[in-house]
Structure 1
Amino acid sequence: MKKNILGCLCFLGYLKGTAQELQSFDQKINTGFKNMTDWFVDAIFAEIPITSEVGTPWVLVVLLMGASYFTIYFKGINFRSFWTSIRIIRGKYDALENSEILEVSESVHTTDGDQPDTVRAEGEIGEVSHFQALTAALSATVGLGNIAGVAIALSIGGAGATFWMILVGFLGMASKFVECTLGVAYREVTEDGTVYGGPMYYLSKGLREKGFSKLGKVLAAIFAIMCVGGSFGGGNMFQANQAFKLFEHVTGAENSFFYGKGWLFGLIMAILVAIVIIGGIKKIAKVTDKIVPAMVVVYVLAVITIIVINYQIVPEAFMSIIDGAFSTKGVTGGMVGVMIQGFRRAAFSNEAGIGSASIAHAAVKTKYAASEGLVALLEPFIDTVVICTMTALVLIITGQINVGAEISDEQGVLLTANALESGISWFPYLLSFAVILFAFSSMISWSYYGYQAWSYLFGRKKYVSYIYKTIFCICVIIGSAASLNAVTDFSDAMIFSMLVPNMIGLFILTPKVATELRKYKKAIANSN
């Protein structure tokens, strides 16, 4: 016992010493890493020229085209089925899951090949409820992008970017519906009831059904590799780093006890993350179904307070959004530039079309794949239409936006903090608390995404799981202690490169989604 305690203390001391050296080590990492990764980052975020002054990343064009196509194909399901989604969350159709007649996707199998009917006779497939699956996925998308990202978009594109941000939020609902329906339809279940799902499985199994077996395997492997890389960077180190920067700022900046002690903040976060992620999706869902509503309520209440205090300016703010959206003037190339900034922020915030959310939704307890797809379409609405729009309103009415200014993510967070402070002096502390919750929830959900991809590549043995989770927790400390810009840029690029294999699969498997939707609608009609 004493040896174990001594060993732990030595390990913590080693971590402390290592973390304190990370600042100098960071420069060496960035120097060596930059040349190797610049080509990849530049390729993913390469811009297509739209006008002589404005260009847009090609990944954004793909996401928008996909979202528009799915909206048209499913006849505006993002609008027509909105209230059905609410009813599913409220348990209106729970009786369908308990009916004796089992109408399920023929694609769902356990790892030993059992048909789903047999498995469901033995017990219900899935690990979490509809609400828990939604909050687990939301915890990964609702984060610093809703705070810092919105400030950056408005600083470049002005208030009008908000209008286009809302539009893309609505379109993204259709993409979420498609990918999350497929996530459930092609999931796998082990003998102990653990669910494995996501693009890796619907790409490999779904495309095999269509006669593209080799293509499916290649796309699934590419997606999994990119997902693992993204989970370590954008889903982990970036979140920890930005949370620490704001925490350090509101606790006194250079006078803060935590000043220069990112390793300590990271160590605390890493311990909390480890406690949660060791328990798998069930434990993650039990945390996120409490944290996500809490953090959204805390943040939204703070924002609403500022809006109420400045209620006289709200009509003017809305007018500036409308006028700015269709203005032909501006530093970003007029209307097109403003449109691109709104599109960029919305697409990058809700991640619709990336495929990551389908991993969490695949674990839901249901026998109708489309039911979870309908639940998932609420994500972009909550993330972009509600939270991003409220952040934009606060920034506009408090006059924090300086159009044309180039700002960083850290400065974006501070702009929102200043906007909240203009109403009530202690609100930045509330924002700091919300940001830490945002970062924490994003990390635990992305750990699940990354592990699912990791297990697809390396197997489902216990030690494989522990290796991934150990690396993930170490990355929390590194992310807090250092400014690994090259690494996080590369990881962000990996996240958005996930859309390439995912979108190919979504387009090919769209008819499968339509079949699942008809099946679920028929079940609802028969229950009335």
Structure 2
Amino acid sequence: MFLSLLNQSLDERINQHFSNATSWFVDAVFAQIPITNDVGIPWVLIVLILGAAYFTIYFKFINFTDFFTAIRVVRGTYDEFEEEHQVTVSNTVSKVDGDNPDTIRVEGEGEVTHFQALTAAISATVGLGNIAGVAIALGIGGPGATLWMVLIGLLGMSSKFVECTLGVKYREVNDTGKVFGGPMYYLKKGLKEKGFKRLGKLLAIIFAIMCIGGSFGGGNMFQINQAYKLFEHVTGAENSFIAGNGWLFGLIMAILVGIVIIGGIKKIANVTDKIVPFMVVIYMLAVFVVLGLNFEAIPGAFKSIWDGAFHPEGVIGGFVGVLIQGFKRAAFSNEAGVGSASIAHSAVKTKYPASEGLVALLEPFIDTVIVCTLTALVLIITGQIVPGTILSDEEGVLLTASALESGISWFPYVLTVAVILFAFSSMISWSYYGYQAWSFLFGRSRKTEYIYKILFCCFTVIGGAATLGAVTVFSDAMIFAMMVPNMIGLAILAPKVLEELKRYRNLIKDYKLQR
């Protein structure tokens, strides 16, 4: 009884304070540019799309031309370039205020492998946006929304390449080999090189603040809340043994998350490189079984996607549905252009920034082009989508669960396991993103580190206990707002990325000639 009253009071207080104090910020971030009398697109989404298209053209369609090179980098084909990572000096290190405070001798070593960096970043992107977001997008835009989703995923590969290359190029390493990187550093250091010292510092601070807020909200509370809702649903809904005890679910997850994140990026990567393949295999297995049972309907599903995408209503509804709903959750599903993934990729063991940029461009392909498309096919084939239906996040998850249940009755339980793993992996990765931003603002001492990690675990409990309401909207807005300083930096620093790409391509070219 007391806990129930506590949860209700907490929820009411959170929603009341956040809705009043942050409505202006949310309104500014989600301000829409009208497309028709009834439909508009948030301006931040237009910036992301235009930026992704610009980078795709600027780098001559690197998302296609270097796709297989990226796969070879992940497989370790070019690992010998790193000279077993014994690097004394890296010419990509930038001095700060006249000197380099970050132990140049270890620059280039990093903390994790290419594969671990990829799985750590994917763990933050593959999640509820692929499950609930796709159902919501198709509900608004119909089957045709899938094609626009794939198109934007392909363009996003170029944005991801740029930001993750810069993340490695401008990272900093302390005397113990611990890496600190991400937009905060390439905005501050990279723009200073370009003569925009004050602008770079301001943008870095803005990004860091938004990243911390996003890590507590969209990267934590939203994830745990939706995982709890699905778990409660499959175990009996209001009759479930855990009904009304979201705090307990949140507490258990907070303990598990705390055990992992205390160890830093190495511990996180050691977990994600096992969880991510496992959870994707679980989810894909469920999807493929449903598709296999309805194999004859697959051609018709693709036809409905194609026809719907170019039908006037499908173009508007599908495009808006994907952009606003499909990418809204989990930072536009693949986070391309937001800058968060570059934080994880900065910790990679390499002295060639472009190598990790190439690895990173695989993320949107896996997350959006593959996972989201297969989810859409299941929803279309099983007849779960009614175009014009506006769904909540919880309804989107349950709709996907119903689609999988049409294949085998116990598949919702499989989905529940996958969702909990998705949520857990997203949370531990976002905790690292938030801590990196936190350390940029407040220093790298053990005290500041543990303060952030304790706060993060506290928000996990809150996320399970409360109906988030305005908090979720606000945290979404903070993640969206990360895009503004990041995209400014990417546009200015694109020539630096091109230099690194040419350097790495020449290395590969020489390597092939010697074989």
Give the TM-score range, shorter chain.
over 0.9
Determine the structure 2 residue equivalent to 1:119. 105
Determine the structure 2 residue equivalent to 1:21. 6
Q: Deviations over 1:395-430 (max 9, x none)?
A: 000000011112100000000000000110000000
Determine the structure 2 residue equivalent to 1:234. 218
**Which region of structure 1 is more displaced relative to structure 2, 414-423 or 401-410?**
401-410
Compared CA separation, residues 19 and 501, structure 1 to 2 (3 A): farther
* Paired residues for 1:448-467 under 5 Å: 448-467=432-451
| Counterpart among 72, 75, 93 of residue 57 in structure 2 | 72
Contact (CA 8 Å) 2:163, 2:342: kept in 1 or not? yes
Counterpart Cα distance in 2 of 1:118 and 1:43: 42
Contact (CA 8 Å) 1:346, 1:384: kept in 2 or not? no
Counterpart Cα distance in 2 of 1:301 and 1:443: 24
Counterpart Cα distance in 2 of 1:25 and 1:166: 40
| Counterpart among 206, 215, 232 of residue 222 in structure 1 | 206
Counterpart Cα distance in 1 of 2:483 and 2:91: 25
Contact (CA 8 Å) 2:120, 2:429: kept in 1 or not? yes
Determine the structure 1 residue equivalent to 2:317. 337
Aligned-CA RMSD value: 1.9
Q: Deviations over 1:169-228 (max 9, x none)?
A: 000000000000000000000000000000000000000000000000000000000000
Determine the structure 1 residue equivalent to 2:130. 146
Structure 1 residue 51, shift from structure 2 partner: 2.3
Q: Deviations over 1:93-144 (max 9, x none)?
A: 0011117898944335699945999615xx8620000000000000001110
| Counterpart among 463, 467, 474 of residue 479 in structure 1 | 463
Counterpart Cα distance in 2 of 1:385 and 1:160: 14
Q: Deviations over 1:458-489 (max 9, x none)?
A: 00010100100000001000000111211111
Q: Deviations over 1:476-519 (max 9, x none)?
A: 00000111211111111000100000000000000000000011
What amino acid maps onto 1:479 in structure 2? Answer: G
Contact (CA 8 Å) 1:139, 1:438: kept in 2 or not? yes
Counterpart Cα distance in 2 of 1:380 and 1:202: 22
| Counterpart among 396, 407, 424 of residue 440 in structure 1 | 424
SS of equivalent to 1:48: strand
Counterpart Cα distance in 1 of 2:452 and 2:90: 33
Contact (CA 8 Å) 2:148, 2:322: kept in 1 or not? yes
Counterpart Cα distance in 1 of 2:174 and 2:88: 20
How many equivalent pairs are there?
A: 507
* Paired residues for 1:3-152 under 5 Å: 21-98=6-83, 104-108=90-94, 113=99, 119-120=105-106, 125-152=109-136
- Say whether 1:297 aligns with 2:281: yes
Structure 1 residue 343, shift from structure 2 partner: 3.6
Contact (CA 8 Å) 1:169, 1:346: kept in 2 or not? no
Identity %: 67
Structure 1 residue 38, shift from structure 2 partner: 1.3
Counterpart Cα distance in 2 of 1:94 and 1:362: 17
SS of equivalent to 1:72: helix
SS of equivalent to 2:333: helix
What amino acid maps onto 2:154 in structure 1? Answer: F
Q: Deviations over 1:284-331 (max 9, x none)?
A: 000000000000010011101100000011111000000000002x4x
Q: Deviations over 1:238-265 (max 9, x none)?
A: 0000000000000111221111110111
Gaps of 5+ in 1: 1-15
SS of equivalent to 2:204: helix
Counterpart Cα distance in 2 of 1:250 and 1:372: 40
Counterpart Cα distance in 1 of 2:237 and 2:144: 33
Counterpart Cα distance in 2 of 1:43 and 1:295: 36
**Which region of structure 1 is more displaced relative to structure 2, 255-264 or 343-352?**
343-352
Counterpart Cα distance in 2 of 1:104 and 1:56: 43
* Paired residues for 1:152-167 under 5 Å: 152-167=136-151
Counterpart Cα distance in 2 of 1:500 and 1:232: 19
- Say whether 1:274 aligns with 2:254: no
Contact (CA 8 Å) 1:168, 1:346: kept in 2 or not? no
- Say whether 1:187 aligns with 2:171: yes
SS of equivalent to 1:353: coil
Counterpart Cα distance in 1 of 2:506 and 2:215: 38
Compared CA separation, residues 217 and 306, structure 1 to 2 (3 A): same
Structure 1 residue 341, shift from structure 2 partner: 1.9
Q: Deviations over 1:4-46 (max 9, x none)?
A: xxxxxxxxxxxx9667512233113312321211111111111
- Say whether 1:517 aligns with 2:501: yes
Contact (CA 8 Å) 1:109, 1:188: kept in 2 or not? no
Counterpart Cα distance in 1 of 2:87 and 2:126: 37
Determine the structure 2 residue equivalent to 1:7. none
Contact (CA 8 Å) 1:48, 1:56: kept in 2 or not? yes
Structure 1 residue 346, shift from structure 2 partner: 4.6
